[in-house]
A and B are shown apart, each in its own frame.
Chain A
Amino acid sequence: MSNKVFMKGCEAIAEAAVRAGCRFYAGYPITPQNEIPEYMARRQPQVGGVFVQGESEIASINMVYGAGAGGTRSMTSSSSVGISLKSEGISYCAGAKVPMVYVNMQRGGPGVGTIQAAQQDYFQATKASGNGGFKMIVLAPSTVQEAVDMTYQAFDLAERDRSPVLILGDGVIGTIMEPVVLPEMKSDEEVAAMKAANREWAIVGHSRDEKRGFLDPGYWSTDMQEAHCIELDAMYRSWEENDVQVEELSLDDAELVFVAYGTSARIARSAIELLRADGLKVGMIRPKTLSPFPVKSFDKINYQLCKCILDIEMSIPAQMLFDVRLAVKERCAVDTCLRSGGNLIERDDIIRKAREILNGGAE
C-alpha cells in the first residue's frame, strides 16, 4: 500500500500533530493558517482530543499553557501579528517549563501587513519570541513533507526539553498542496503513556505523599531566577551541539553559496539547478533549524574558491543576514537577494544576482 496522500500544508501539519499525540489545540482565526484550526475542529473529537477556538490569540496560547501544564501534548498556531499576541504566553511556557508546539505561518508585516507569504518574523522567531531572553528550537520546513516530519518531531523535542518548539512556516508552506507520507499514528495507549510520564511534574492533583506539581514562571529570589536562567542556558548550548538540522548542497566546489530557508530555499534550489546546468558553481546552506543556527556548515565552505555568500530571504530589511554574517566570520563577502511585503522571491531574480556576482553582471 502506498501511503502517499495529497495534502495542503496546514492540514498536513495538523494531521501530523494528531499522529504525534497532540490532544489539545486552541487557536484564533487568521489567514494564512485557518486550515489548521478548521482541521483540528474536525479531527480532535475523533481521537478523544479537545479543540477550542479561543477568544483571542492570547487566550489560545494560555489554554495551551494550561493543557501543557496538565501534561497533554498541546499545540496552537497563528500568523505573524497573532504570534505577537502570544509572546507573553510563550515566554511563560519557557519560564515554567511547559512543553508545547506552535506554528507561525508567516505573512507580510509589520502591523497587520499582508496575508501573503513572507519571512518577516525571523528575529521574533529566533531572537525574541517573548521577554526574558529564552530560546527555542525553531524548525523551518521547506516542503509539506518536511512540515509533517518536523511537526511530528517537534512534540518529542518539546517534551524532552519541557520547552516550547516553533514550526516557522509561511503562507506558501501553509497553503501549497503536495504528496506526503504521513507518520505513524501513535496509539491511544502510547498517548496515555506519554501523558502518564509527564504526571511527575504536571499539575493534575498529587496526593499528599507525592511531590506536588508546581509550575513556576517566576521566582521571589533573584538567585533562584539566575540559577534557572543558567540551567536554561546550558540546555540552549546543548542544542547547538546536538540539535542542528541543515541541508548542505555542493559546498566543496562552490564559488557562490546561497543561504535560504523555507519557501525561499525552494526557489533558490530551482535556481541552482539552472545555474549548475550552465556550469556555474553554486552551493547552498539551507537551515532546517533556524535556532540552533547551523554555524558549523559555514566552516565547510572552501573560502579559497568562494567569492560570495548570498543571503536569500523574503524579508526587507534582511534578518537572517545577521546570523549568516556571524557564521561567515568575514571569510568572504556577503550579499543579499530580498523580497518583502508578501511578494515571493523570483527564481530569475536569484539567477540574475548569481550571474552578476560570478560573471560580473553578464547575462
Chain B
Amino acid sequence: MEAVYTRTNTLNGNLLGFCPGCMHGTTFKLIGEVLEELGVDSKASCVLAIGCCGLAQEAVSYDLATAPHGRAAAAATGLKRTNPDTIVFTYQGDGDLASIGLAETIHAANRGENITVIFINNGIYGMTGGQLAPTTLVGMKATTAPGGRDPKQHGYPLHMAEIINQLVAPVYIERVSCNNPANVRKAKNAIRKAFQNQIDGKGYSFVEVMTSCPTNWGLSPEKSLKFLEENMMKEFPLGVIRDNR
C-alpha cells in the first residue's frame, strides 16, 4: 500500500521530548518537510538556541550546533558567511531571541544576513519553568510575575516581527501559528518561503511561530489552544508583515 503520510526523513525517530500539546514538535516537522521538499536537507545546518528546543537536538538528522543563550543569530552569521552554500537557520524561543539575544537578533537582521530565523513565541520561558518572557501578555501570570504582567513594572510585550520590520534589510517577515490545519499549512508555506529566499540569496527572513506552552501556562492542551487563539493571537496578529520580491 502506498503511504500517503510519512515522517520526514529529517526526524530520525528519536524522541522529540516535548510536552503533550506543545507546538515545538509540529514546527520541527514543518521545517524538516520543507528542507526535504526543497532538496536541501543534506545542506542544512541548524544553529539551535538554548531553551526547550534543545529537546530536539538528538531527534533531527541534519547538522546542528547549539549556540549560547541568545547568540544564535551571531553564530549563524559566522557560519553562513564562511559557508555560503550551507543552508543556515536559527531556531529560537522568545527568551532567547527577544530578551538575552535582542542585540544579536536585531543586528543580524539589520545586516541582512542571508539566513532563516525561526522564532517560537510561546509568551513564557519554557525550559526554566514559566518565568516572565518579553512576550508575556499583560496580566498573564509567570513564576517571576505571580500577579501577572504589570505594565508599570514590566512594560508591554515585545512585538519582534514588527520591530524587525523597522529595519531596511530584511526581505521577509511573517507571523504564523500551528493552532489548526489551515494555519499549519500557512506556517509551512511561510517556512518554505523563508528558506527559498536564502537559497535564492535574497537575504534575511524571519518567521515568528505563535505556539502554546501548556505546561507553563498551567492549562490543558485544549485550553492552551483556546488561550493561544483568543489571547496570544490577538496581541500578536498573524500575517505577512513584509515580503520583498
CB distance from B18 to the nearest CB of A (A): 14
Considering the complex, which residues of chain B in the window 15-42 have a beta carbon less than 8 Å from any beta carbon of chain A?
Answer: 40-42
- In the assembled complex, which residues on chain A have CB atoms less than 8 Å from the CB atom of B244? none
Question: Does A96 lie at the interface of the complex (its beta carbon under 8 Å from any beta carbon of B)?
Answer: yes
Contact: A62 with B75, CB < 8 Å? yes
Closest Cβ neighbor of A73 among chain B residues? B82
* Alpha-carbon separation in the docked complex, A60 to B68 (Å): 12
* Alpha-carbon separation in the docked complex, A215 to B9 (Å): 20
Contact: A59 with B45, CB < 8 Å? no
* Binary contact track A63-102/B, C-beta < 8 Å → 1, others 0: 1111111111010000000000000110010001010000
Question: Does A217 lie at the interface of the complex (its beta carbon under 8 Å from any beta carbon of B)?
Answer: yes
Of B55-63, B137-145, B191-199, B217-225, which binds chain A?
Answer: B55-63
Contact: B44 with A67, CB < 8 Å? no
Question: Does A212 lie at the interface of the complex (its beta carbon under 8 Å from any beta carbon of B)?
Answer: yes
- In the assembled complex, which residues on chain B have CB atoms less than 8 Å from the CB atom of A50? 81-82
- In the assembled complex, which residues on chain B have CB atoms less than 8 Å from the CB atom of A216? 57, 65-66
* Alpha-carbon separation in the docked complex, A70 to B80 (Å): 8
- In the assembled complex, which residues on chain B have CB atoms less than 8 Å from the CB atom of A218? 54, 66
Contact: B82 with A67, CB < 8 Å? yes
- In the assembled complex, which residues on chain A have CB atoms less than 8 Å from the CB atom of B54? 218, 220
Question: Does A203 lie at the interface of the complex (its beta carbon under 8 Å from any beta carbon of B)?
Answer: yes
- In the assembled complex, which residues on chain B have CB atoms less than 8 Å from the CB atom of A346? none
- In the assembled complex, which residues on chain A have CB atoms less than 8 Å from the CB atom of B107? 55, 59
| Partner pick for A72 among B42, B45, B62, B82, CB 8 A cutoff | B82
Question: Does B154 lie at the interface of the complex (its beta carbon under 8 Å from any beta carbon of A)?
Answer: no
- In the assembled complex, which residues on chain A have CB atoms less than 8 Å from the CB atom of B43? 205
- In the assembled complex, which residues on chain B have CB atoms less than 8 Å from the CB atom of A26? 78
* Alpha-carbon separation in the docked complex, A69 to B83 (Å): 10
Grouping DSSP codes into helix (H, G, I), strand (E, B) and loop, the B interface class, with mixed when no group exceeds half, is mixed
* Alpha-carbon separation in the docked complex, A304 to B28 (Å): 70
Question: Does B211 lie at the interface of the complex (its beta carbon under 8 Å from any beta carbon of A)?
Answer: no
| Partner pick for B78 among A74, A88, A208, CB 8 A cutoff | A74
**A70-B86 CB under 8 A given contacts A89-B68, A208-B42:** yes
Question: Does A222 lie at the interface of the complex (its beta carbon under 8 Å from any beta carbon of B)?
Answer: no
**A64-B78 CB under 8 A given contacts A203-B45, A204-B86, A208-B9:** yes
Contact: B78 with A68, CB < 8 Å? yes
* Alpha-carbon separation in the docked complex, A54 to B41 (Å): 29
- In the assembled complex, which residues on chain B have CB atoms less than 8 Å from the CB atom of A54? 74
Contact: A205 with B45, CB < 8 Å? yes
- In the assembled complex, which residues on chain B have CB atoms less than 8 Å from the CB atom of A266? none
| Partner pick for B75 among A65, A71, A207, A208, CB 8 A cutoff | A65
Question: Does B47 lie at the interface of the complex (its beta carbon under 8 Å from any beta carbon of A)?
Answer: yes
Question: Does A281 lie at the interface of the complex (its beta carbon under 8 Å from any beta carbon of B)?
Answer: no
- In the assembled complex, which residues on chain A have CB atoms less than 8 Å from the CB atom of B79? 66-67, 69-70, 203
Contact: A70 with B78, CB < 8 Å? yes
Contact: B42 with A206, CB < 8 Å? yes
Contact: B81 with A52, CB < 8 Å? yes
**A88-B75 CB under 8 A given contacts A59-B103, A67-B81, A208-B42:** no
Question: Does A58 lie at the interface of the complex (its beta carbon under 8 Å from any beta carbon of B)?
Answer: yes
* Alpha-carbon separation in the docked complex, A207 to B134 (Å): 38
**A66-B64 CB under 8 A given contacts A55-B107, A59-B71, A204-B83:** no
Contact: A205 with B44, CB < 8 Å? yes
Question: Does A56 lie at the interface of the complex (its beta carbon under 8 Å from any beta carbon of B)?
Answer: yes
- In the assembled complex, which residues on chain A have CB atoms less than 8 Å from the CB atom of B40? 205
Question: Does B11 lie at the interface of the complex (its beta carbon under 8 Å from any beta carbon of A)?
Answer: no
* Binary contact track A312-332/B, C-beta < 8 Å → 1, others 0: 000000000000000000000
- In the assembled complex, which residues on chain A have CB atoms less than 8 Å from the CB atom of B80? 66
* Binary contact track B74-111/A, C-beta < 8 Å → 1, others 0: 11111111110111000000000000000110010000
* Alpha-carbon separation in the docked complex, A205 to B35 (Å): 12
Closest 5 CB pairs of A and B: A66-B78, A66-B75, A67-B78, A63-B78, A205-B43
Give the interface of A toward B (CB within 8 A): 23-24, 26, 50, 52, 54-56, 58-60, 62-72, 74, 88-89, 92, 96, 98, 202-208, 212-218, 220
What would 5 A/B residue contacts be, using CB atoms closer than 8 Å?
Answer: A59-B104, A65-B67, A67-B81, A204-B83, A205-B42
Q: A55-B103, A59-B103, A62-B75 given. 8 additional CB < 8 A pairs?
A: A24-B81, A52-B77, A64-B78, A65-B68, A69-B78, A207-B42, A217-B66, A218-B54
